Amino acid sequence: MMLTKILFRNAFHNKLRSSLTILGIAVAILAFGLLRTVVSSFYAGVEAASASRLVTRNAISIIFPLPIAYTEKIRQVEGVKLVSYGNWFGGVYIDEKNFFPNFCIEPHSYFALYPEFVLNDAQKKAFLTDRKGAVAGRKLAAKYGWRIGDTITLKGTIYPGNWDFVLRAIYKGRDNTIDETQFFFHWAYLNEGIKKIWPRYAEQVGFFMIGVNRPDVAADTAVMIDQRFKNSLAETLTETEKAFNLGFLAMAEAIVTAIQMVSFVVIFIILAVVANTMAMTTRERTGDYAILKTLGFGAKDITILIFGEALVITLTGAAIGMVLTFPTSRIFGSQLATYFPVFLVSTETIYMDIAAAFCIAFFAAIIPTRHAIRIRIADGLRRIG
């Protein structure tokens, strides 16, 4: 108890300098936490992927379609439990800045494959029976003020023209890791429109979503699906949902790497700040340490005092930064929901914050401790006054 009291007194001996250092650490830990949260948000879709779902797309590229006739052939493959399909629509709401993920899907099988999208039974029934019906995520509907029964017009970017939909259902995520910013409508409705605009591109889909009987058969099932369409006009590439999502992330790998590097640069900068503070404190207390040595205190005692002071300052700032991370992340998440639909501070991020705080305290105190231990008593006493 006495030691703790001494450490806090030492840490706040110069209140202004200590307060500014703590403020700097808090801001750095806050920035580090937010940057790590951005990185984890990139991987939110990967973490939410099911081990029992596969994605089949064109082997050349996802931009090339597959015939809808593949549905029955895939369903016949051993290990396949359920097959759904869809297209990326790529429409915009009112103008280009209002962009959000929108897909046309086969609704019955799709929502059976994705139980994490929770729909009200009455709303789901209304959606299934309305060819122009649409489903929107709760966050998306709240952002634009949509209500059940509203007519929503999307301007096609891939499929030209204005497409009208009636909002029949609003889904919510099973938990807070589920994306609630997506928009779904009937594949049949899009297909009917394509028949009028580009008849030759009708009866095609962008991807198949496949549910397998057990996760352990996913790899074998994927191989059998691709073998079934080998040497056809449209060969397939089937992979787990996690691998499929990682493939998209690979396109932004440079951005993710840059953010990770910046997050660690922040830690190195604050390490320099704390190290400078501890160096100044040690120089000011050279005489005090010399007196302690004359009283019989050894290197171990001085080490405890210096490292303890560094820990008090660093952990105080880190605690403030971690506390501020949660409300700040909620603000960022609400403002950037279109780009980061799942923006949550993970437990791993908190552990990294704590580890960073201890590392900063440890490395910042090494040189001042070495200096305080090695200085001779006579040299230290000479600095008093």
Of the candidate ranges 161-170, 253-262, 353-362, the one whose mean pLDDT is the lowest? 253-262
Instruction: Name every residue whose Cβ is closer than 8 Å to that of residue 292 and which is 6 or more positions away in sequence.
Output: 301, 302
Say if CB 156 and CB 90 are below 8 A apart: yes
Taking only the tens place, the pLDDT of each residue in 84-94 is: 999 999 899 98
What's the pLDDT band for 290 if we cut at 50, 70, 90? low
The answer on pLDDT for 358 being more than 70 is: yes
pLDDT tens for residues 104-136? 999 999 999 999 999 999 999 999 999 999 999
Question: Do 243 and 65 meet the contact criterion of CB atoms below 8 Å apart?
Answer: no
Instruction: Kindly indicate the confidence band of residue 252, based on its pLDDT and cuts at 50, 70 and 90.
Output: low
Give the pLDDT score at 44.
67
Residue 378 confidence (pLDDT): 65
The secondary structure of 32-76 as a DSSP string is HHHHHHHHHHHTHHHHH--TTEEEEEESS-TTS-EETTHHHHHHT
User: 342: Cβ–Cβ under 8 A, 6 or more apart, which residues?
Assistant: 41, 44, 45, 48, 176, 177, 178, 179
pLDDT, position 150: 94
**Confidence label for 20 from pLDDT (cuts 50, 70 and 90):** confident
d(CA 288, CA 9): 14
pTM recorded for the entire structure: 0.75
Does position 65 have pLDDT exceeding 80, yes or no? yes
215: pLDDT confidence band, cut at 50, 70 and 90? confident
